[in-house]
Structure 1
């Protein structure tokens, strides 16, 4: 019963954040970007230009143009992802339709680009973090990347260069450049939203003093560690490998601890986008 309840809670939490993210994206579009002729990338950007030319509702275009990509995603990626994406895109479409009569918050194009990009980035970031998407081009990018040597990011960038170039022809090149500012801001905020302010880092420490280092990490950082067995490729000597996960803000202190104990230790630090199983919590330091 507890497992079933936890599953229901997780599903509710997921769709709540998908809802919040989609609403934030709708606010960014209708309150900041669209009133100032600033275009987003992907299908949303195409929808903005199509709505401008035909005077038909933006929400209708966003929903309709994404349908073929959702069908493609169902067969190529999976049902769970597509259901999350369908929910998010539907909420976005309804949101922009409701907000369309609301006047823009500012006529300053730079402010609209920056703040629209920030709010859009938070919204898209939340949707991506909880397993959905707000744009069908990402589905195409995933499929194309499997068939070619291009990464998902490179395929999305190609689409967006084409879309922003088209926006320059339609709205003027100054609007296209402001659109690029909004896109860049949103891109950075998406990363921040997905990874979080307390971004996690995985640390591997190869040292001849693994016990002392692990004790110091536990006592001074409150972080648990895992021991791995290693052997020097050149010397053939056994070496201890200490693995731990810390936050970005603890990196400087970690380096200081290692320098004090073993300045010859070999250390690698890399990003961790998700921590699944266990808790990344500090143990009490006495």
Structure 2
């Protein structure tokens, strides 16, 4: 039996890594299509190291992929030291894939010469690819690594550091390409960031719900029967009174949140409910069921 369990565990691990790197491979293809067929030919840039690489390629006439690899090298070292080996490996592979596919797609004629259309559709395609890479545990942008490190050592958040760096990069694009292209780049950056959020969080967002109640049996049964959701029972106590309390934990979709509130208040109008967005779910009995 131990040998069988070990074999199953090895197969699961192999399947996990195959899926992970297939997603990075696919994401790099999609991202390079967005860059080479829409953004780069129209001199519309993304933020971070990708944006700097595009500008360096314009100035020197050397391949975009070359600068993408070279400029990310110090950040990869920082990522390996500060975040971990798996992140550094996944990021290195993603950068190499994107560099290679950019060289393949670069000779292909651009889809549109309208910079606004390029910013919108290029941003959607690029954001989709980058989102897949991030979801697989990699990255294309060394500035995110810097932001994570600075977040630990300063009062600024990751988002604030990334925003500051990208404002500087987009301002540089204005000096190089003209301020109209810088504004189109800002539109592209916004579209890319929103598309990344959609890929990472999903269109059908899920929410983790914690319910503090004295009617835990009735609410558990109702959530099982009417929403088809598994419920985990946590034992707690009131911090002020010391009274024993039961806390219910479950995960529901965005469309089920209102129904859950209705069920809880129907069973216990004094229940205390907290609801938080969930970005990913692994395992469990999380399946959709008709609401009634």
- TM-score normalised by L of structure 1: 0.94
Return the offset for 1:260: 2.1
Partner in structure 1 of residue 262 of structure 2: 256
CA contact (8 A) 1:118 1:185 kept: yes
Range moving further from structure 2, 231-240 or 213-222: 231-240
Distance 1:107 1:253 in 2: 48
Determine which of 42, 51, 56 is the counterpart of 1:50. 56
Kindly indicate whether residue 16 of structure 2 is the aligned counterpart of residue 10 of structure 1.
yes
Determine which of 23, 27, 38 is the counterpart of 2:33. 27
Give the number of aligned pairs: 286
Partner in structure 1 of residue 81 of structure 2: 75
Return the offset for 1:277: 4.5
Kindly indicate whether residue 276 of structure 2 is the aligned counterpart of residue 270 of structure 1.
yes
Return the offset for 1:284: 9.2
Kindly indicate whether residue 77 of structure 2 is the aligned counterpart of residue 86 of structure 1.
no
What's the RMSD between the two structures over aligned residues?
1.8
Q: How does 1:79-228 map to 2 (within 5 A)?
A: 79-228=85-234
Range moving further from structure 2, 248-257 or 273-282: 273-282
CA contact (8 A) 2:229 2:285 kept: no
Moved over 4 A (4+): 233-236, 282-286
Deviations 1:118-142 (A, max 9, x none): 1111111111111100111112112
Distance 1:208 1:6 in 2: 41
**What 5-or-longer segments of structure 1 have no aligned partner?**
none
Partner in structure 1 of residue 235 of structure 2: 229
Return the offset for 1:109: 1.7
CA contact (8 A) 2:238 2:245 kept: yes
The 3 A distance-change label for structure 1 pair 29 and 285 is closer
